[in-house]
Amino acid sequence: MLQDDKGRSVSYLRLSVTDRCNLRCLYCDGSISPRLLHGDVLRYEELLDLMGLSATLGIGKVRLTGGEPFARRGFMEFMEAARQRFPAMDLRLTSNATLITPFAQRLAAAGVARINISLDTLDAPTFHRVTGQDMYHAVRSGIDACLEAGIRVKINAVAMRGVNDGELAGFLDLARQNPIDVRFIEFMPMGGASWAPEQVWSAEDILREAHTLADLTPLARDAADSGPAQMFSIGGGKGRFGLITPLSNHFCGSCNRLRITSGGTLRTCLFSDRVYRLRAALRHPKLGLPAVERILRAALRTKPLGYELLAARRSGKVCATGMAAIGG
Ligand code: SAM
């Protein structure tokens, strides 16, 4: 099992397959960050090799993300190839679900048991305003298709004052009526299009209001299979409600993750701009995976505590790069 210099076990990889996205969310950087050149994007074979290395190092859980994974051609076939090569791996996916409907059954057949779907609003015009695209109904179909395929769905909504702070009741109803976990995530000051302190709708405020709208009971973290989210059952509901609090209540002490971008850079902390370039080593005929492993182990000797970086930041942003390029 991999361990970092602070004794944290690392067992979870977030692997981005593309920095491209078909949405232009106002808080993300899908439209503004420089895109990778085709040749700089890791080929699917290379991504599989990185997953294989991760597996040998004890990483049993890999989340494929982006950009939007389904915006990359051949993504479904890649998932199927990943399942064939790593039958025991816990394969997960994060998607905006706009393009997922035709693939839901194949995802289920490939053993993708859980999908995180990003959806910040239940109002079609607001969706258009947030994402730049008129695709709210495509997302809702995608969610339905995943549920029909038997995939567990978690919806992640970025909590934003002035955008979705009037929608708590609607989201609670969605979780009450469907076997869906709805999680609000605090709006993080990442590189990207826009962030201002007054746009942050804090977890504390969300929870106070949620308690007035629903009968919420906190769940133990382990029992909830929730990662860093604090989850609540909803009285009489099929789904659950949760909060992810990177700003107000960090979870750095138990952070077990690494991120590798579609361009092959390793990031050990979301709030750090420090990157470790794996691509050149991976592609070098005399270096390859053993060299990648050395870089990875060296990087773990300085895996930061993100909350320290958050506290020490001088500008508004904690990290110059936005989530589309890093892989959320
Ligand atoms: N396209 C996929 C999707 O929409 O889920 C995967 C990539 S997206 C960058 C991953 C997640 O990052 C989304 O849930 C998005 O809402 C979240 N995200 C992006 N920028 C964020 C920010 N500044 N604060 C909080 N969450 C953010």
SS3 letters for the chain?
A: CEECCCCCEECEEEEECCCCCCCCCCCCCCCCCCCCCHHHCCCHHHHHHHHHHHHHCCCCEEEEECCCHHHCCCHHHHHHHHHHHCCCCEEEEEECCCCCHHHHHHHHHCCCCEEEEECCCCCHHHHHHHHCCCCHHHHHHHHHHHHHCCCEEEEEEEEECCCCCCCHHHHHHHHHHCCEEEEEEECCCECCCCCCHHHECCHHHHHHHHHHHCCEEECCCCCCCCCCCEEEEECCCCCEEEEECCCCCCCHHHCCEEEECCCCEEECCCCCCCCEECHHHHHCCCCHHHHHHHHHHHHHHHCCCHHHHHHHCCCCCCECCCHHHHCC
pLDDT at 226 (0 to 100): 67
Q: Is 184 in the pocket of ligand 1 (CB under 6 A)?
A: no
- Ligand 1: residue of 20, 28, 31, 262 to mutate (most ligand atoms within 8 A of CB) is 28
Q: What percent of the chain has pLDDT over 90?
A: 80
**pLDDT value for 178:** 97
Looking at domain 2-326, what is its CATH homologous superfamily?
Answer: Aldolase class I (3.20.20.70)
Q: How confident is the model at residue 30 (pLDDT cuts 50, 70, 90)?
A: low
- Nearest ligand 1 atom, CA 96: 4
Q: What are the residue boundaries of the structural domains of the chain, listed by start?
A: 2-326
User: Which of 117-131, 210-224, 258-272, 285-299 shows the lowest mean pLDDT across its residues?
Assistant: 210-224
Ligand 1 centroid–CA 31 distance in Å is: 13
pLDDT at 212: 98
Q: What is the pLDDT of residues 190-208, one digit of tens each?
A: 887 778 889 999 999 999 9
**Per residue in 40-85, pLDDT tens?**
999 999 999 999 999 999 999 999 999 999 999 999 999 999 999 9
Q: 261 CB under 6 A from ligand 1?
A: no
pLDDT, tens digit, 9 for 90 and up, residues 235-270? 989 999 999 998 888 889 999 999 999 999 999 999
Q: What is the mean pLDDT of the chain?
A: 93
**pLDDT per position as a tens digit, 303-320:** 999 888 888 876 677 888
Regarding the beta carbon of 256 and ligand 1, being less than 6 Å apart is answered no
pTM of the model: 0.95
Please work out whether the CB of residue 33 comes within 6 Å of at least one atom of ligand 1: no
